[in-house]
Amino acid sequence: METITRLGVVGCGLMGSGIAQVAALGGLDVLVAESSQEAAEAGRRRVVASLDHGLRRGKLTEAARDAALSRLTFADDLEAMADRQFVIEAVAENRDIKTAVFETLDRVVTDPQAILASNTSSIPIVDLAVRTGRPAQVIGMHFFNPVPVQRLVEIIPALTTSPDTLLRTRAFASEHLRKEVVEASDRSGFVVNALLVPYLLAAVRMVESGSAGAEDIDRGMELGCAHPMGPLRLLDLIGLDTAQAVAESMYEEFKEPLYAPPTLLRRMVAAGRLGRKSGGGFYDYTAVS
């Protein structure tokens, strides 16, 4: 089995930057591609800030931080991915955008055995795989936010994924990225979101109906069920637009009412109240440094 040393990450938002950071700390040569030079620079700043935060908290040594930064390269063109052995797509949870990325990666990545993975939360992996000429090398790798902290990754083989790709991906996740792995069927939502999303949407419906306020709902789940974070604070962390996109994808596949995004969620997304990343969602974050 070929040793993977060259990783590509497409997208450097919250998820992409976290994946890139973990991989660089794990000793990999990491190339991050964004849609523009400005986005690439913003991604670099995000990774540097996260590494510096780890240094301040005593989680990293200065030598480890500097070594990780030396392994990171940023580009604004997917053509730069040509020599990668493994590429993880981490762009917005939008089927058309992800499909376009996979079509381009299929064209530019020269190694016919290179693995192309998607960090999608809900889009069926087979839908992406069949848009490439190498469906046997396409697989899902769903990370959790914040990637440097959360230990889990879901591995999702499609019907088209080869046993070798699955084996190599599991080994890559556990040995290089030091993640715990669960394997899921290629059904929208996989394992975690299939359970989590109905719970989060139920909390939104409680607010919408006036059954309880956001703080009381969150305190109830944190203190009554020992959850580290209540559902509405978690939605703000995930991003309400991302949650809506995941719910829509799951509803499209299963047509179950519990997956349908509530009207309140749709209105908040339309208003730009997306959670932490916009400064406000169910809570206000404008005073948070």
Give per-residue pLDDT as tens, 80-135: 999 999 999 999 989 999 999 999 999 999 999 999 999 998 889 999 999 999 99
- Whether the pLDDT of residue 289 is over 60: the answer is no
User: Are 4 and 30 contacting, i.e. CB atoms less than 8 angstroms apart?
Assistant: no
User: Are 167 and 137 contacting, i.e. CB atoms less than 8 angstroms apart?
Assistant: no
142 an active-site residue?
Answer: yes
How confident is the model at residue 288, as a pLDDT? 58
| Average pLDDT score over residue span 157-165 | 98
Mean pLDDT of the chain: 95
How confident is the model at residue 34, as a pLDDT? 95
Name all domains of the chain by residue range, CATH numbers in brackets: 6-183 (3.40.50.720), 194-278 (1.10.1040.10)
Residue among 89, 93, 154, 188 flagged as catalytic? 154
The candidate with the shortest Cα–Cα distance to 200, out of 160, 242, 166, is: 242
User: Are 45 and 32 contacting, i.e. CB atoms less than 8 angstroms apart?
Assistant: no
Residue among 119, 122, 142, 278 flagged as catalytic? 142
53 an active-site residue?
Answer: no
| Average pLDDT score over residue span 173-199 | 95
**Alpha carbon 138 to chain centroid, angstroms:** 16
How confident is the model at residue 1, as a pLDDT? 64
Tokens of 54: 């780890």
| Average pLDDT score over residue span 267-277 | 97
CA–CA separation, 109 and 81 (whole Å): 6
119 an active-site residue?
Answer: no
- Whether the pLDDT of residue 155 is over 70: the answer is yes
Is 147 exposed, middle or buried, given 0-12, 13-18 or 19+ CB atoms closer than 10 A?
A: buried
| Average pLDDT score over residue span 199-225 | 98
Q: Tell me which amino acid residue 207 is.
A: V
> Is the entire prediction scored with pTM above 0.85?
yes
Residue among 17, 118, 119, 121 flagged as catalytic? 121
**Alpha carbon 39 to chain centroid, angstroms:** 17
Number of Cβ within 10 Å of residue 269's Cβ equals 21
Residue among 119, 193, 249, 278 flagged as catalytic? 193
Number of Cβ within 10 Å of residue 75's Cβ equals 15
User: Are 30 and 17 contacting, i.e. CB atoms less than 8 angstroms apart?
Assistant: no
The candidate with the shortest Cα–Cα distance to 187, out of 109, 127, 242, is: 127
Spatial strand order of the sheet with 115-118 comes to 72-75, 29-33, 6-10, 86-89, 115-118, 138-143, 152-157, 180-183
